[in-house]
C-alpha cells in the first residue's frame, strides 16, 4: 500500500444504536493500529467532538467487545452539531489533535452531519452504515439489521405459541422507521398472514379479505406484522377496526419496541461490521472522503454520502409476493 | 402400588397458557399409559368437556412436545362452564366415557372450576399449577414461571444495551397479574435501580429519591421494572411524573407483553412439569381429589384446592431488601 | 403465467439435514397449492421414492414447521438409489402417481442423484441447496449456513468465557466438510487469533508465530478455530504440537459437532428457504429441469446442476486478510 | 445491625468457572460498600493472595457484570496455596492490608483451601458455592448449575433435530464430574430414552433392554445422556458396544464439553448468586467463619465447610424413576 493519506483519525457512533456498532468500532481501531495510524474514540457522537472528549484507543481497548450489543462509545443525537458554532468548536478540537479523518458509524442523520462538516472544514469523513432499519442506499445490509430481524422473529415466535394456544389474532408492531424491511422479513419468517408496510399502499378491506381467506383455509390463529411506519394508521386503530368487523376474534396488540435495538450481534452482523470498519480505515488511507462504505453482492463499495442519503433501498416486490403466497 | 382408584382419566389445559404445559401434558399421558390407565385429551379447557371433544392419547401422541411452548390441547377461559347447565353437560359427557378423574393444568380460575365440578358431581379432580405468575399457594414455583423470568430478563438485558448507549431511563413493564414475582426477580437479575410491585406500598417520592441516589452514585443509565399489577398507577403515568420532575432525563417506556407467555420451556420448567404431571396421575390413582399437586422444598406435596386458591405465595422480604442494596 | 409444465410434483429432503429444510418444504407445498399443482411429500430422501412412500400434502400439512429445525420428511443417504435397479423402482412409482417434477432439497450428493435420474428417465428435477456447509456453487448462501454460523458463534462465545477466566488456549473444531466457510466466519466473529481452513495452506510454524504475536500483544486467552476439513492434521495433533512447543499453555480441545446441524432456523435462513422453495416450483412450472435454484446478489438464479456440483464457492481472500488484521 | 466483626475483606473466585460467579462478586462488592466495609478483589484465586494482587473495588467496579459469564477476577487452581510456604505468603499479604475476612467463590477444592487457611491463620473465611456440578452439600443449588442445565438442554434439543431427521441414536456426554445432576435433569428435559449416571449402577444389558423397548414403542430416534463420571466405561466404549449389538443403528457420539461452563447466567442463577454474595458478607459481619452460605428451601443457611465438603447432595430417586416412566 502507498503512503497513507491520513495519520490520525477519530471514530464515533451516532444516532440510534444498533447491534454490531462495537464490532465496527473494534475493526476501525485494530485496522488503524495495524497500519500505524493513531486512532481516538469520541464519546457520545458529535457531542464528543464539541466537548473535546477524545480518548486514544489501541487494540486492547476494544477487546471482547465484538460480542456486545450497544456501543461502548455511547451514542447521541447532537443538537449543537447542527449549529455552525457547534461545528466550529468541533473543528478546533480536531485541529488541536491533528485529526485528518473521521469515521462516523450511524444512520442517515449521522451522515448528514458528517457531510456538512467535511464541506465546511475539509477534514476527511467516511460513513459506516449502522442502523437496524436497513434504509441506507449503497449497501445490501446495514449493521444491526440481521440481528434485529432475529430478535423480532424470536419474539413473534413466542407470541405465536400463545396465539395458537388461544386461537387469537395478534397485531405485532416492529421497528424500521419509514422502512418495511424488518416487517417484511420477520413477517415472512414467522408465517404472518399479512404484513403491513409503508412501501405498499395497504387497505383495511384487503386486510379483512385476508382474514376471511385465512379462516376459510382453516387457520385458527393469526399474526399480522405491522411496520412502525405503516401509513394506514396506528396499530391500535387497525386492531380496533378489525375487532369491529370481526367481533368473534380475540385480538391482541404487541409492540416489540426497544428490545429490537439490543442484544449480542449475529454472526452476519459481526462479519459485516468487521469488513466495513476495516473498509472505512482503508478508504481514508486511500484518500477517500465524503463517502460511505458498504457491501454490495459481497464486494466492498464506496458510495457518495449524498447518494447514500438521497436514495433508498427498495423493498423486493418478489418477496412481497412470496410472502402472500406462503402465508396461508 | 395397590389397585388404582381410577381407570379412565382426562387431562385439559385451561386459563392463560404457560411454557411447560405441554411437558406436563406429556407426563400425564405417559404416566397414565405406564400404569395402564386410559387417558383422553380435552381440547380448549372445560369447553372441550362440554362439547364432548375427547381424544384418546397414548405415549406417541405427546412425542417431541416437551420442548414446545404453548399447549397442543389449546386453552380457553370457559364461560359456559361457569353455568350449572354447562357443567351438567360436561358431567354427562364424562359419564358417557366412564371418566373417573380429571387432571386440570392451569391457574386459580381453572382450579375454581374444578373444585365446583367435583363438589357437584363427585368426579375426582386434581390441579397442576401452570401459570407464569407464580401466584399459587402450595408449590414453590408454578410451571412456566422460570421460563417467563428468563424471557423477561433477556428482553431487559437487550433494553439495557440501548439504555446504556444513550444514557436513557427505561420503565419496563413485566407480567404477573396481581403478583410481583416476575418483576422482583427479573429486576434483581438485570440490575434495575428500582422495582415497583403491588405487594409493597411504593411512592413516587421514594422512586425519585432512588433516581437521585443513582445519579449521585454515577449511574448513567437506569432501568425501573414495574409489575403490571403495580398499584401506584399505570407505567405511563409513572413515567410522565418522572419526566416532569427530571426534565433532563431521556425517558422511554417498554411493555414486554405476551412474549413472556411463549417460548420453549427452560430445563427447570420441563423437570417441574414432568414431576407434577406424574404426581397428578399418581395422586388420582391413590384416590386423592380436590387437591393440587406441587413441589415444596423438592418434595411432592398435595394441597387442598381451596387452600391453594385462598392463600398466596408471599414475596420474600429479604429479596426485596437485597435488590435495593445491590441496585446502585 | 402460462400453462404450467407440470401438474404433479414430489418434494424430498436428502443428505445431511440443515436448519431451514422445513421452511423450504413449506414453501414448495404452499406454492404448489397456490398454483393448483398436486404435491406429494417423499419420506427419507430417495428411499421414499423407491419404497413408494408418497403422501399428499396441502397448506395445512406444513403449518408451524417454518420455525422447526431438521426435516419432517426425514432425510437419508440412499445406497439403493445409486443402483440402476433402485432408480428403476423409483421411476415406476413416479410413473404410477403421474409425477412430472421432483424438488430435491439437499447438497451435492442429492443433486448428483437427481441429475442421473433425470438423464435416465426424463422426469424433471430441480435442486434446492440445503446444507450448512455453504459449498454449493450457484447461490451466495445455502439453506442452513447462516443458522449454523450463529450456533457455532454462540458456542465459541461461551467457550470464550471460560477461556478468559482461566487464561486458556482453546482449539475449537467446527463443521463444513471440505469447506472453510463456517470456520472463517465464526472465527472472525468470535475474535479467534487464528483460523485454520482447508482452502489455505496453513503451517504449524505460522500458527506458532501467531501465538507469539498474541502473547506479545498482551492477550491472555486465545481461541483457534479449526475447520473439520483442515489438511494440516487432526485438531488433536495440532493441539498436541502446540502443547509441546508452548508447555506453559493450558490447552483444551472442543469439537462442536452435531449441534451445528440443529436448531430453529435464523430469519435469513427462513427467508432464503422460502424464496428457494418458491423458486423451485416456479422453475418446474416454467419447464426448467436439471438445474438448481439459488440466490445471487439478491436475485433468483437457476444454475445447471452439473455446474453447481463441479464448481465451488471460493473463500473470500479479503475476509481472510481482515480476520488476521483484526485478530490481535 | 450490631458492630460488624470485619472492616476489610477480600473476595476471590477459584476452581472451575461457573456462570453467575460475576453476579456473586457484584453482590459481595456492593453489599460490602453498603455496609461501609472495604473490599478488595483478588485475581486468579488463591494465587492472587500469594502474589499480592489486591485491587480495591467499589460499586462501579462491578457494573454490568451481572449478565456476564465467566469471572472478571479470573480463576485458577493454585498449587502454591497447597504448600505451607504459599499460604504463609498469602497470610503476610492479608496482614499487610489488614484483611479480616475472605469470601471464596468456588467448589470443594476452593473450600478445602479456605478451611486450611483459616485453621492455620485465623482469618475468617466464608465459602460461596459456585460450580456447575451441583455437588456441594448445604445448598439446594450451586451457582451456575441452572445455566449449565439450560445450555446442555439447548444443545441436546439441537441434536434431537438431526437425530430425528436421520433416525439416529446419539450418545451425548454432559459435564458434572462425579455427580449426575446435569445428566439426570437435562436428560429428563430432553426426553432421553436412558440416562447413565455414576450414582446408579448401570449395566449394558439394561441399556440394551431400553433400546429394545424404545424400538417396540415405535421410537425412531433416540438420545442417551451420559454423565462424564459414569462408571460403566467411556461414552465411546458404550457406543461401540451398542453398535456391536445393534448393527442396524446409525450411532453418533457428542461430547458437549466446555460450552456448559460459559454463557450469560440464567435468571435463577443471577438471583441465587446475588443472595449468596450478600449472605457471605453479612455472615462475615456477624462473625461467622469456616462456613459456606447456601439456600435451602428458599432460606439462607450457613453450613460448616467441613460438612459441605464431606457430605453430598443426593440424586433424587423419584426423579430417576419419573425419567424412566416418561422416556418412552
Mean pLDDT by 10 residues, chain B (328 residues): 89 96 98 98 98 97 96 94 98 98 97 98 98 96 98 98 90 96 98 96 94 89 95 96 95 97 98 98 98 96 97 92 94
Task: Map chain B to HEC letters.
Answer: CCCCCCCEEEEEECCCCCCCHHHHHHHHHHHHHHCCCEEEEECCCHHHHHCCCEEECCHHHHCCHHHCCCCCCCCCCCCHHHCHHHHHHHHHHHHHHCCCEEEEEECHHHHHHHHHHHHHHCCEEEEEEECCCCCCCCCCCCECHHHHHHHHHHHHHHHHHHHHHHCCEEEEEECCCCCCHHHHHHHHHCCCCEEECCCCCCCHHHHHHHHHHHHHCCCCCEEEEEECCCCCCCHHHHHHHHHHHCCCCCEEEEECHHHHHCCCCCHHHHHHHHHHHHHHHHHHHCCCCCEEEEEECCEEEEEEHHHHHHCCCCCCHHHHHHHHHHHC
Give yes or no for B263 touching A (CB within 8 A).
Answer: yes
Mind listing the pLDDT tens digit for each residue in A216-233?
Answer: 988 878 999 999 999 999
Per the CB < 8 A criterion, the answer to whether D14 and C166 are in contact is no
Question: Interior CA angle at C111 toward C107 and C115, to 5°?
Answer: 175
3-state secondary structure of C69: coil
- Please tell me the distance from the alpha carbon of residue D52 to that of residue D50, in angstroms, as a whole number: 5
pLDDT number for residue D27:
98
Binding residue positions of B for substrate: 131-133, 168, 175-177, 228, 252, 258-261
Cβ neighbours of residue B152 under 8 Å, at least 6 residues apart?
B174, B175, B182, B186, B256, B260, D267
Cell numbers at A148, concatenated: 434485529
The DSSP letter of residue D288 is -
- Please tell me the distance from the alpha carbon of residue C142 to that of residue C24, in angstroms, as a whole number: 11
pLDDT number for residue B1:
55
The residue among D44, D151, D257 with the most chain C CBs within 10 A of its CB, best to mutate, is: D257
CB atoms within 10 A of CB D296: 14
Per the CB < 8 A criterion, the answer to whether B19 and B144 are in contact is yes
Is C175 labeled as ligand-binding? yes
pLDDT beneath 50: ranges in chain C: none
Interface chains of chain C (3 or more CB pairs under 8 Å): A, D
pLDDT number for residue B267:
98
Comparing alpha-carbon positions, the chain C residue that sits nearest to D252 is: C258
Class of domain B147-261: alpha beta
pLDDT tens over chain A, length 328 residues: 578 999 999 999 999 999 999 999 999 999 999 999 999 999 999 999 999 999 999 999 999 999 999 999 999 889 999 999 999 999 999 999 999 999 999 999 999 999 999 999 999 999 999 999 999 999 999 999 999 999 999 999 999 999 998 889 999 999 999 999 999 999 999 999 999 999 999 899 999 999 999 999 888 789 999 999 999 999 999 999 999 999 999 999 999 999 999 999 999 999 999 999 999 999 999 999 999 999 999 999 999 999 999 998 899 999 999 999 999 8
| Minimal C-alpha gap between A215 and chain C (Å) | 12
Shortest CA distance to C11 belongs to which of C55, C59, C76, C60?
C55
- Please tell me the distance from the alpha carbon of residue A276 to that of residue A299, in angstroms, as a whole number: 11
Give yes or no for A261 touching C (CB within 8 A).
Answer: no
CB interface of B with D, residues 77-136, below 8 Å = none
Query: How many CA atoms within 13 Å lie on the side-chain side of C294?
Result: 25
Task: Map A219-277 to HEC letters.
Answer: CCCEEEEEECCCCCCCHHHHHHHHHHHCCCCCEEEEECHHHHHCCCCCHHHHHHHHHHH
CB interface of A with C, residues 15-54, below 8 Å = 26-27, 30-31, 34
Per the CB < 8 A criterion, the answer to whether B101 and B284 are in contact is yes
Give yes or no for D58 touching B (CB within 8 A).
Answer: no
- Please tell me the distance from the alpha carbon of residue D20 to that of residue D68, in angstroms, as a whole number: 8
| Minimal C-alpha gap between A220 and chain B (Å) | 11
Comparing alpha-carbon positions, the chain C residue that sits nearest to A326 is: C30
Give domain D8-144+265-310's CATH architecture. Answer: 3-Layer(aba) Sandwich (3.40)
| Contact at CB, B75 and A158, closer than 8 angstroms | no
Chain Cα centroid distance, residue C187: 18
Give yes or no for B181 touching D (CB within 8 A).
Answer: no
The DSSP letter of residue A124 is E
Is C67 labeled as ligand-binding? no
Per the CB < 8 A criterion, the answer to whether D121 and D87 are in contact is yes
pLDDT number for residue A9:
98
The residue annotated as part of the active site, out of A17, A38, A53, A133, is A133
Per the CB < 8 A criterion, the answer to whether B272 and B21 are in contact is no
Is C74 labeled as ligand-binding? no
Cα D269 to Cα A242, B43, B123, D143, D156: the distances in Å are 43, 36, 42, 6, 21
Is D131 labeled as ligand-binding? yes
Comparing alpha-carbon positions, the chain D residue that sits nearest to B182 is: D267
- Please tell me the distance from the alpha carbon of residue C293 to that of residue C305, in angstroms, as a whole number: 9
3-state secondary structure of D79: coil
Chain Cα centroid distance, residue D118: 23
| Contact at CB, A59 and C217, closer than 8 angstroms | yes
**Identical fold at A8-144+265-310 and A146-261?**
yes
List strand residue ranges (DSSP E) for A62-202, in order: 101-106, 124-129, 169-174, 194-196
Third-level CATH fold of C146-261 = Rossmann fold (3.40.50)
pLDDT number for residue C1:
55
Q: How many residues does chain B have?
A: 328
| Contact at CB, A267 and C30, closer than 8 angstroms | no
Give me the residue spans of the domains in chain A.
8-144+265-310, 146-261
The residue among C271, C282, C301, C318 with the most chain A CBs within 10 A of its CB, best to mutate, is: C271
**B258: nearest CB among A21, A162, A257:** A162
- Please tell me the distance from the alpha carbon of residue B241 to that of residue B237, in angstroms, as a whole number: 6
Cα B141 to Cα B276, B314, C320, D139, D151: the distances in Å are 11, 12, 50, 17, 21
Give yes or no for D264 touching B (CB within 8 A).
Answer: yes
Write out the DSSP string of C182-250.
Answer: HHHHHHHHTT-SEEE-TTS---HHHHHHHHHHHHHTT---EEEEEETT-SS--HHHHHHHHHHH-TT--
Mind listing the pLDDT tens digit for each residue in A31-50?
Answer: 999 999 999 999 999 999 99
pLDDT beneath 50: ranges in chain D: none
Q: Give chain A positions within 8 Å (CB) of B158.
A: 69, 151, 258-263
Give yes or no for D70 touching C (CB within 8 A).
Answer: yes
| Minimal C-alpha gap between B275 and chain A (Å) | 22
Amino acid at each position: 500500500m502507498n503512503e497513507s493519506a491520513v495519520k490520525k483519525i477519530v471514530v464515533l457512533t451516532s444516532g440510534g444504536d444498533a447491534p454490531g456498532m462495537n464490532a465496527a468500532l473494534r475493526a476501525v481501531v485494530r485496522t488503524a493500529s495495524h497500519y500505524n495510524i493513531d486512532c481516538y474514540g469520541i464519546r457520545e457522537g458529535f457531542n464528543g467532538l464539541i466537548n473535546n472528549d477524545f480518548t486514544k484507543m489501541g487494540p486492547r481497548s476494544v477487546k471482547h467487545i465484538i460480542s456486545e450489543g450497544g456501543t461502548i462509545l455511547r451514542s447521541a443525537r447532537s443538537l449543537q452539531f447542527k449549529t455552525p458554532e457547534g461545528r466550529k468548536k468541533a473543528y478546533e478540537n480536531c485541529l488541536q489533535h491533528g485529526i485528518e479523518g473521521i469515521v462516523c458509524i450511524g444512520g442517515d442523520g449521522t451522515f448528514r452531519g458528517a457531510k456538512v462538516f467535511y464541506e465546511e472544514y475539509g477534514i476527511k469523513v467516511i460513513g459506516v452504515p449502522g442502523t437496524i432499519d436497513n434504509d441506507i442506499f449503497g449497501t445490501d445490509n446495514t449493521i444491526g439489521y440481521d440481528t434485529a430481524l432475529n430478535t423480532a422473529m424470536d419474539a413473534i415466535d413466542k407470541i405465536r405459541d400463545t396465539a395458537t394456544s388461544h386461537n387469537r389474532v395478534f397485531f405485532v408492531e416492529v421497528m424500521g422507521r419509514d422502512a418495511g424491511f424488518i416487517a417484511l422479513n420477520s413477517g415472512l419468517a414467522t408465517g404472518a398472514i399479512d404484513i403491513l408496510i409503508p412501501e405498499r399502499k395497504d387497505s383495511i378491506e384487503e386486510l379483512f379479505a385476508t382474514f376471511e381467506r385465512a379462516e376459510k383455509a382453516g387457520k385458527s390463529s393469526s399474526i399480522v406484522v405491522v411496520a412502525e411506519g405503516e401509513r394506514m394508521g396506528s396499530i391500535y386503530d387497525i386492531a380496533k377496526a378489525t375487532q369491529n368487523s370481526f367481533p368473534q376474534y380475540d385480538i391482541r396488540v404487541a409492540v416489540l419496541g426497544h428490545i429490537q435495538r439490543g442484544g449480542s450481534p449475529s454472526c452476519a452482523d459481526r462479519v459485516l461490521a468487521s469488513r466495513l470498519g476495516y473498509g472505512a480505515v482503508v478508504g481514508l488511507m486511500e484518500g477517500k472522503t465524503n463517502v460511505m462504505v458498504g457491501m454490495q453482492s459481497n464486494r466492498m463499495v464506496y458510495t457518495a454520502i449524498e447518494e447514500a442519503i438521497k436514495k433508498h433501498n427498495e423493498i423486493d416486490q418478489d418477496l412481497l409476493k412470496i410472502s402472500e403466497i406462503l402465508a396461508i
